[in-house]
Amino acid sequence: MGIQETYDYWRANVRQDQVAELERLATNPDELADAFRKELEFGTAGLRGILGLGPNRMNEYTVGKATQGLADYLNATCEEPSVAIARDSRLRGEEFVRVCARVLAANGVKAYLYPRIEPTPALSFAVRYLGCSAGVNMTASHNPSAYNGYKAYGPDGCQITTQAAKAIQDAINRTDPFAQVKTVDFDQAVADGMIQWMGEDVIDAFVDAVAAVDLEPADAPAADLDLVYTPLNGTGLECVSAILKRVGIADLDVVPEQSMPDGNFPTCPYPNPEIREALELGLARCAQVRPYLLLATDPDADRVGIAARHGDEYVLVSGNEMGALLLDYLCARRRELGLPLDESVAITTIVSSAMIDAMAEDYGFQLRRTLTGFKYIGEQIGLMEAAGRADRFLFGFEESYGYLAGTHVRDKDAVVASMLIVQMARWHQAQGRDLIEAVDGLYQRYGYYRNKTLSFSYPGAAGAERMDQIMGMLHQEPPSTLAGLAVERVVDYAQGAEMPVVGALLPEDQPQQLPAANVVEFQLEGGNKIIVRPSGTEPKIKAYLFAKQADAAQADQLLADFEAAARDLLA
């Protein structure tokens, strides 16, 4: 059906109280076209979109249709399937959770629900803890308040695989959102035992599992580090405050305006701890109380950003810098404890800092690089677990402020990261340096690796076409020079590529192929590179810039040159 036909079909089938919203849409041709030009695609990140009516929007009908597809898939592949369900603080999250549970129950799939908002890693944990066939989390991560999403997980606690996503999408495609979505009364399903609220034991077990990752010295000072924390009106407060209390931070100073869950995110329109604007209230609070550290978790508490006191100012630490800091801390602590590193495996992505290669050679651990998306890191943990060697996993991180230590979940975890950041800060403090001095120490040891991520927006139908044109050009006619440097090699991940590995392979470590992906890497002379990929969740193309020099000023200048080149390339 075309846009007008699809609109008419929706208008004839939505609830009567929703007709006025559709009629308003009809007065704005661009908005109407965007809402009805296609259906939200169910990929390995599930669904994500703007709230509103239409097949390209997040609403009760698209959630119901997606869940019917998921239920059909589970009933075809599992015996007595069950699903763990969670949500963050986003608008309409509770409604969507109930829709999801009602559809699952109507299809004979048992649904376990967290009774309140909880972090994304707590959902990944619950899937494994309860032995569920799948998980669903209603979240749009750090997107603006107009968005919500439907993130699907497999039985291993990872976001679903490409194969599973395709099978679910096929089932979704066969489903009419109005005529073929089964549903049942919520309270009746609870009474029948098909919908069950998770008990406090589940979230308590999650916090216990986080605490088990602790490597802090037994004689470390317990409460000598003051910090300010902001959950950015999201889910982090309960679990982050609980774990920090366990490691000696009893009096957590929480930014008052951002302490309570609020899907409108009134204090920051883009609640992403990667950007300074989201931290402004936290930084203002730091100016008043002068803590050692500012911690900020995003709305679903799978990412964490920090600002560290350095002299009289607070300096932000990037995701790449924090990943390197935490990995260095874990390696140093293992050495102090007399634990070997030669069989340990750290995992990061192709778009994360190249400094980690140098760290792997220095410490002697194995480094694996996956495609972007923490599920690929989770899959590598699963491979080691299947071989009976989950103990090999050392650390995983993405440049986009996602970190994981421990094997309790298969997704990035701001709760365990917050604990480790505090413990690492105390460890450096005991040696007479702050975290900014610790970052500089890494640069002095390994070289000045400068990184930057640029995002270019392409809204609407015309923007989607432009994105396809740009990526097509890069695949078919890649440039021979960028920023005056020769392109020595082009890695077209759409054609597949071998997983990059640094360090020795054990006998059970077979070479691995990365899945095909719409990513192009330009390897430049001098060990520099630029990587370009479209976002999987937003109408954006991202350019990842990697500059390395022996001198900080030269590295900064080269990074600026790369930024200018990327803007020309993706204009």
Tokens of 246: 């366990």
For the entire predicted model, the pTM comes to 0.94
3-state secondary structure 13-42: HCCHHHHHHHHHHHCCHHHHHHHHCCCCCC
Compute the distance between CA of residue 144 and CA of residue 314 in angstroms, rounded to an integer.
26
Q: What angle do CA 430, 415, 381 make, to 5 degrees?
A: 100
pLDDT score recorded for residue 43: 79
Determine whether 133 is an active site residue: no
- The structure tokens 């917050």 sit at 418
Set 141, 145, 344, 400: catalytic member: 141
- Give per-residue pLDDT as tens, 488-523: 999 999 998 999 999 989 988 989 999 999 999 999
- According to DSSP, the residues that pair with 492 across neighbouring strands are 520
- Give per-residue pLDDT as tens, 455-468: 999 988 788 889 99
Neighbour tally for 79: CB within 10 Å: 7
pLDDT score recorded for residue 537: 67
State the DSSP string of 65-125: HHHHHHHHHHHHH-SS-EEEEEE-S-TTHHHHHHHHHHHHHHTT-EEEE-SS---HHHHHH
- Residues in Cβ contact with 270 at an 8 Å cutoff, skipping those fewer than 6 apart: 142, 143, 144, 277, 278
Percent residues over pLDDT 70 in the chain: 99
- Give per-residue pLDDT as tens, 531-547: 999 987 678 999 999 99
Compute the distance between CA of residue 511 and CA of residue 389 in angstroms, rounded to an integer.
17
- Sheet (strand 227-230) strand order: 253-254, 227-230, 293-297, 304-310, 313-317
> Over 90: is that where the pLDDT of 5 sits?
yes
> Over 60: is that where the pLDDT of 223 sits?
no
- Give per-residue pLDDT as tens, 15-54: 999 999 999 999 999 999 999 999 998 877 789 999 999 9
Across the chain, mean pLDDT equals 95
